[in-house]
Amino acid sequence: MQDWKQALRLAMFELHASKYVIFFLAVILCLALSSIVTGFSSYLEKNYAGIEFTFFIIFSAIILIWVKPKDFQLNQVNEDVMASPSLIMLHQLAVKKDVMIKSRFIVHFCYSFPFQLLFLIFFYALSQELQHVLPVGSYLAFSIIWLSFSFYAGYFFMATDAGTRNVNKITAALFTFIFAIGVMFLSATIQTISGHGIVNWTIIFAQEWPLLSSIISVILAVLGFSYWLHYMRKTMDLVDYL
Amino acid sequence: MNSWLEITQLQKKIDDFHLGPINLQIEPGTITALVGNNGSGKSTLLKLIMNLANPDMGNIKVFNKFVYGQDESWKDKIAYQAQTPIGYNPYTGNQLKSLIAPLYPNWDDTLFVDMVHSFDIPLHKRYGKLSQGVQQKLNLALTIARNTPLLLLDEPTSFMDIPSKKRLVDILVDWMDRGDHAIIFAGHQAEDIMKLADYLTVLRNGTMVGTFEKEELTATYMHYWLKEPLGKMSIPGEISREIKQLVSNQPAATEQFFHENNVAWTDRKALDLDEIITYLLQEGKDGYINDGNDVIGS
């Protein structure tokens, strides 16, 4: 508990100094909601792979890479490695590695979770089609499925704080483009093969097996999150912050 | 006496650069200067001590704990000032102090305030907006005030003006007097701060030339002015020669030779520390071989 307290104290400095991120996240939230609410009935009627990309963007928290102020974005440590400047700073102080990792988790959580939760709340409040398709209980399961996804997939971006391969801006843009194409390709393939898009499938899971899909999602979230913490610790032990 | 820092057979390869093997022990009450040419591995050595990188071979123990072990309690006892701190830019001096001070149980707020006033550091400005010199002063105030037994400073005065350098020397002298402390700093030979050092650990292109007691070293190097040119005779201790001048690092043997061979000299003078370091950093002119057992403060 002492570690968590210290991690929270340290995370608060970054959260306070980068509070303007909230403004950008609010803008993105509005844009995402306006596009998804207006397109949702069409998505359900025509059953095409259309809104998956927005869901991936929001629940993978990839957006945080761009909206964070430059001082908090991954920074070049040496020719091969990029890492979070905040983590490097803490690494040079009397802070245990576990506390550093917890601190990174708190920062990531504070920026991603409320944003994702608000998205889910407003999506339900603003979309009558969604309310019609999913009663509150099922929507809770649907929310758990996607919030869990944010843990087992999205915390990959937190884990990169400990150090990742150094890439230039062109390569980073290329990776982003490949990620976008990959998500769209995956969505289209699943839609073509199975007859439903990924979001539609999660709606079906939430309708048909709300409890089971929630339990499986939470288990995946716990396993995935534990893996990313382990991955981060291992990376910190291996990387040379020279 | 127990060493506070013990480095044994440490080696690290980074691309074409090879650091080590380094053997070093630091004991309480000592100040050690890491001296070397650019790229000789001084900063890398300090980062290895801080467990910011993994050695390829060898061990580092701080207060009898391996720095890469599970027990990280050693971190409370060591303060490290990086040459270029990463992650400080978005914070003001006040915020950095609030972040750092609670991490160190012996934080000396009086010293911090004194340094802030003495160096005229604006604590309300963002670190990234300060000049390099002021950044360095703030960084030093944030590091020395941690009041840990062991203090690591990487090029602490590289951007500082002369009065500030002198003030820092005074601060460090006072700080050393106020308890059991030890300092290791990486620096250049011409710096004022070098006067503080009890020991010099000399690195040449990653290789450890040796660790030398400063007083002993300054008494060892002698510059002679001769009456006549020396010709081609080989002189014991000779490390440098011009027509009628000679520098020796074994003055007793050199003077014995002069006496036996009737070589007359008109004057002699001990070399300045920076001249000695220059000789030590010139490959093949030091006359010392690292025996791999450098103990400081014993």
- What's the token pair of residue B18? 């090879």
Could you give the count of Cα atoms lying within 13 Å of A219 in the half-sphere of its Cβ?
Answer: 6
> How far is C-alpha A1 from the chain's CA centre?
25
pLDDT at position B154, please? 95
Q: Is the peptide bond before B21 cis (omega within 30 degrees of 0)?
A: yes
Tell me how many residue pairs between chain A and chain B have CB atoms under 8 A apart: 67
Nearest to B103 among A16, A87, A94 (CB): A94
State whether residue B91 sits within 8 Å of chain A by CB. yes
pLDDT of residue B1: 59
- Give CA–CA dist A192/A234, Å, rounded: 39
Band of residue B283 on the pLDDT scale cut at 50, 70, 90? low
In this structure, which topology does domain B5-214 adopt according to CATH? Rossmann fold (3.40.50)
B245 neighbors B223 (Cβ within 8 angstroms): yes
Q: Of the segments A64-68, B127-131, B192-196, which one has the largest average pLDDT value?
A: B127-131
Dist CA B106 CA B110 (whole Å)? 11
* Distance from the A74 Cα atom to the nearest Cα atom in chain B, whole angstroms: 10
Listed by start position, the domains of chain B span: 5-214, 215-296
pLDDT over 70 percentage in chain A: 98
Of B75, B86, B100, the CB nearest to A85: B86
Q: Give per-residue pLDDT as tens, B8-22.
A: 999 999 989 999 899
CB of B88 within 8 Å of a chain A CB? The answer is yes
Q: What is the per-residue pLDDT across A63-110, written as a single tens digit (0 to 9) for each? A: 887 788 888 888 887 777 889 999 999 999 999 999 999 999 999 999
With 50 as the cut, is the pLDDT of residue B288 above it?
no
Question: What is the per-residue pLDDT across A101-149, written as a single tens digit (0 to 9) for each?
Answer: 999 999 999 999 999 999 999 999 999 889 999 999 999 999 999 999 9
- Touching check for B63 and chain A: CB below 8 Å? no
**pLDDT score for B34:** 94
Q: Give the chain B residue whose CA is nearest to the CA of A11.
A: B99
Q: Which of these ranges, B145-154, B191-200, B228-237, B284-293, has the smallest mean pLDDT?
A: B284-293
Mean pLDDT, chain A, rounded, equals: 89
Instruction: Give the sign of the dihedral formed by CA B77, CA B110, CA B99, CA A85.
Output: negative
- Per residue in B73-99, pLDDT (tens digit) is 999 999 999 998 999 999 999 999 999
Tens digit of pLDDT for each residue in B103-119?
999 999 999 999 999 99
Q: Which residues contact B135 (CB under 8 A, 6 or more apart)?
A: B85, B88, B127, B159
Interface test with B, best of A6, A93, A239, A241 (most B CBs within 10 A): A93
Per-residue pLDDT at B289? 39
Q: Are A123 and A33 in contact (CB under 8 A)?
A: yes
Q: Pick from A9, A89, A94: which is nearest to B104 by CB?
A: A94
